Structure 1
Amino acid sequence: MTALSNRVRKLVRYSEDILIEGGKEAAKPARMVAVAAVLQNPWAGRGFVENLRPEILAIAPGLAQMLVRELLEACGGADAVEAYGKAAVVGSSGEVEHASALIHTLRFGNIFREAVGGKSYLSFTNKRGGPGCAIAIPMMHKLDEGLRSHYLTVEFTIGDAPGPDEIVVALGAATGGRAHARIGNRYIDMKEMAEEGKGA
């Protein structure tokens, strides 16, 4: 955690509990949570840096551990997490590659997956933005990428971040799927399309 001690300016936690959807009460209220770290961009002011790996190795694992700990506390533990995702936003003086570098490494993602017993890949967004920009974290079921009930997005803003030389790195989780999911999953489409092909 030493590599992070003088880089993280603040941690931000956002959550919402879905109680009613479409005018109908949810049988099982779901909580969507996002936890974000606002940190100094380690490549800012250095011009074009060819090799990003030293900073990835030094920062990404500790950053993941910090965010996972906060996220699980907000969700009520690892077993409560059903869907997950990640996001990063780099400030205007950085490259999108800088945001990508900290989240698109197994040394970051595997810490989250292993903590919640996930198997699915972590859906993501990575972009450049300024203070107050929308930070959207798309999510999917942690065990089954084809369950459309858990295709969710948690979105929030941080009024003063990212600054030009900062990166916002965020993890998102949900304790359930959409309140009244009724569009079926990918496997229904695959079965129907296969049957249509056979009959053609």
Structure 2
Amino acid sequence: MTQTTRRTFLTAALATLSTPTLLRAQDQQVLSPLVPRNVSGFVAQDWQDHFQSLDRVSILCDTGSRSLHYWNPVGNDYRIYPTSVPQTDELTKRGYTEIVRKKVGPTWTPTANMRKRDPSLPAFMPAGEGNPLGTHAMYLSWPAYLIHGTQDTRKIGRQSSSGCIGLFNYMIEELFAITPVGAQVRVI
């Protein structure tokens, strides 16, 4: 008959308790990138804390929680999307703006500052695979600032952009369809 030692008991207990966690972590790797990893960090927002009225589509880009909040003009459709956000505070423009233009299949022209930081960037990139703006883009009234998709899904949930707000391509497609030109936007 074997005697159960304290060490054997603790090892068995630890293995039993950690198994569900290990399986969940394994499932997360299989489901990524379709399952946003930072959803637990999202904080529900109230549009009244950010906008004077909800007379049109309203979008809040929260760079702290790396999320985009959408409200329709009636207030009965509230959605949250995981995003990529600017790499540094210096690249982050904050305040109120609006959607001034929308484009399916956007082309990309890096700014002079972007090319200065990374001289390997091309001067221009046509729409399509490899384009960092993804499949859809919504242009803000601030020059060179956009809400757009991304081909590189590893960027979502991270500080990885040069100033823009990035979403998974399938999510920007959904947001693009329900957001008209003129929608009010706040970046915090």
- TM-score of the pair, normalised by structure 2: 0.26
| Structure with more relative contact order (C-alpha pairs < 8 Å, separation 6 or more) | 1
Larger helix share, 1 or 2: 1
Q: Greater Rg, structure 1 or structure 2?
A: 2
- TM-score of the pair, normalised by structure 1: 0.25
Larger strand share, 1 or 2: 1
